[in-house]
Amino acid sequence: MSSLYRFGISLDKKLIGAFDTYVEREHYASRSEAIRDLIREKLVLKRVDENGSVAGALVMSYDHHRSDLSERLMHIQHDYHECIISTQHVHLDHDNCLEIIAVRGKARLIEELASHLKALVGVTHLGISFSAYGVEDTDGDSGGAREHSRAREHSHAHAHDADHDHGHNHSHR
């Protein structure tokens, strides 16, 4: 039994013309595939807007030479440990670092984490990308990412020891 549902759409000729140009330029194999992506894109935006559970990634670049920056970044990430799945650190060149932080949790909490990181002096760029994970769950929230609403309760009570081992071997000389 197919789970596909087919329906017809009436569109103005100019609109379908513009859409077909879009489908071609974006290298979609069919209008249907392009429409599916547009629907998911809209549903992700709505989910974020309504503070639903989401999964995604923060992509950040920074100059690690800035005073205490590495330490501050690490501290903030520990404050939000409940919505961080993993981090990948790349040393782009002598000065610049690229960090990709995989996140999962309430949209507002992830945006809050992003704003704290972004505001630090030395962070040159931070972008958030939310995936479409869970957007097809019709109950709106539970089937997707787990809820991590307790993360904030931990935040200011977290003592960060300077000699703390973070479990990865990140060092700069």
How far apart, in whole angstroms, are the C-alpha atoms of residue 102 and residue 56?
Answer: 6
Give me the amino acid identity at 105: G
Q: Pick out residues in 119-138 that bind Ni ion (CB under 5 A).
A: none
- Let me know: does 84 contact 76? Beta carbons within 8 Å: no
Q: Contacts with Ni ion: how many residues (CB under 5 A)?
A: 2
Of the residues 34, 97, 117, 128, which one makes contact with Ni ion according to CB under 5 A: 97
With the CA atoms of 149, 109, 88 and 123 taken in that order, what torsion angle do they form, in degrees rounded to the nearest 10?
-150
Query: With respect to Ni ion, which residue has the nearer C-beta, 158 or 172?
Result: 172
Applying CB under 5 A, the span of 74-82, 83-91, 143-151, 160-168 interacting with Ni ion comes to 83-91
- Distance in Å, CB of 83 to Ni ion, minimum: 23
Assess 91 for contact with Ni ion (CB under 5 A).
Answer: yes
Q: Pick out residues in 31-70 that bind Ni ion (CB under 5 A).
A: none
Residues 6+ apart with CB under 8 A from 82: 105, 148, 150, 151, 154
- Let me know: does 62 contact 73? Beta carbons within 8 Å: yes
Cβ-proximal residue to Ni ion, closest one: 97
103: β partners:
56, 84
Applying CB under 5 A, the span of 75-83, 95-103, 133-141, 154-162 interacting with Ni ion comes to 95-103
Query: With respect to Ni ion, which residue has the nearer C-beta, 91 or 160?
Result: 91
- Distance in Å, CB of 119 to Ni ion, minimum: 20
Applying CB under 5 A, the span of 52-60, 92-100, 122-130, 149-157 interacting with Ni ion comes to 92-100
Query: With respect to Ni ion, which residue has the nearer C-beta, 53 or 70?
Result: 70
Query: With respect to Ni ion, which residue has the nearer C-beta, 101 or 132?
Result: 101
Residue 67 is given by DSSP the state T
Strand blocks (E) in 11-113: 53-63, 84-91, 96-106
Q: In angstroms, how far is CA 100 from the centroid of its own chain?
A: 9
Residues near Ni ion (CB under 5 A) are 91, 97
